[in-house]
């Protein structure tokens, strides 16, 4: 899943694709690099971000989604608002990627249920401007148990709203109301998220827990634009875990890494078949 931020303030590339023409061109570049899905977002969810007006978000994403969908791309809309989801789906999007899992807008699940779209529900506790206040996971089982329990509740809500099970995709929400150690624990415990019975999408690309891991000798985090090698290593791990989707900024690097993992897995399977009695 290739990321196209049609925003002026996203943490990694804010402003680079803010104009529709630039965002559309970026989408085509990501497709050429091997993206299966383009995730188009008009609201930054970086820590501390303030929300745009609904009209602003609509103006940012709908023209881009329409153009890319018309060109044959499978498009996802990254939004927490039911109005934006409905407009994006009408413009040709096939998925709704809701970082709030339906908690930010009570009408979201109804809109998705009525349209038949696939729905990515992320683990979420609060909006970006104060989500750090909710990064506490002190109950038994820690962050992995809490994320699984809270996602399971969201699945119940989705099913109750009429969203069929085969349309549900879950995201553990790396970086959202989570400190660096929580993100690492979740990456190590993805099998438990998958055990909830739905495909898993993971977005680790360029996030701050990678920057802090790669901090210099004075404790300064590695800059956002110099975290891609680490993210490629994460993509290898995710591919080995068999996740459904990996949400990335640099599609080519992760696609190449996944190709290596797949080729080695095929070779291992071939050797096992040859050695069987």
Q: For residues 80 and 59, give the distance between their C-alpha atoms in angstroms, rounded to a whole number.
A: 15
Lookup: tokens for 20: 């529709």
Evaluate if residue 11 carries a pLDDT over 60: no
247 is annotated as an active-site residue: yes
In the set 60, 207, 227, 255, the catalytic residue is 207
Contact 202, 242 (CB under 8 A): no
Beta strand residue intervals within 75-117, DSSP E: 75-78, 95-98
pLDDT digits (tens, 9 = 90+) for 18-73: 899 999 999 999 999 999 999 999 998 777 777 889 999 999 999 999 999 999 99
Q: For residues 248 and 41, give the distance between their C-alpha atoms in angstroms, rounded to a whole number.
A: 13
Among residues 201, 182, 212, which one has the least CA distance to residue 248?
201
pTM for the model stands at: 0.93
Evaluate if residue 93 carries a pLDDT over 60: yes
- Cα distances from 136 to residues 98, 131, 143, 190, 263, in angstroms, run 22, 10, 8, 19, 40
Read off the pLDDT band of 132 (50, 70, 90): confident
In the set 60, 154, 247, 255, the catalytic residue is 247
């Amino acid at each position: 899943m290739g990321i196209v931020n049609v925003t002026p303030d996203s943490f990694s590339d804010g402003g680079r694709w803010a104009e529709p023409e630039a965002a559309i061109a970026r989408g085509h570049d990501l497709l050429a690099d091997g993206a299966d899905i383009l995730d188009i977002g008009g609201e930054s969810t970086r820590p501390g971000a303030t929300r745009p007006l609904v009209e602003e978000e609509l103006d940012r994403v709908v023209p881009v989604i329409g153009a890319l969908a018309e060109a044959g791309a499978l498009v996802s809309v990254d939004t927490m608002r039911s109005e934006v989801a409905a407009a994006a789906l009408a413009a040709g999007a096939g998925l709704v990627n809701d970082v709030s899992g339906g908690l930010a807008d009570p009408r979201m699940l109804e809109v998705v249920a009525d349209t038949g779209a696939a729905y990515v529900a992320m683990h979420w506790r609060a909006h970006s401007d104060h989500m750090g206040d909710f990064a506490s996971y002190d109950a038994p089982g820690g962050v992995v148990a809490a994320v699984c329990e809270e996602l399971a509740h969201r699945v119940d809500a989705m099913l109750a709203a009429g969203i069929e099970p085969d349309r549900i995709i879950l995201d553990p929400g790396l970086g959202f109301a989570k400190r660096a150690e929580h993100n690492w624990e979740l990456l190590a415990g993805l099998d438990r998220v998958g055990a909830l019975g739905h495909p898993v999408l993971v977005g680790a690309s360029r996030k701050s827990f990678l920057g802090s891991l790669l901090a210099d000798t004075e404790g300064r985090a590695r800059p956002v634009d110099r975290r891609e090698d680490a993210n490629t290593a994460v993509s290898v791990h995710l591919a080995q875990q068999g996740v459904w989707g990996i949400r990335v900024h640099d599609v080519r690097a992760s696609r190449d890494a996944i190709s290596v993992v797949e080729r080695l897995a095929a070779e291992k399977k071939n050797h096992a078949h040859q050695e069987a009695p």
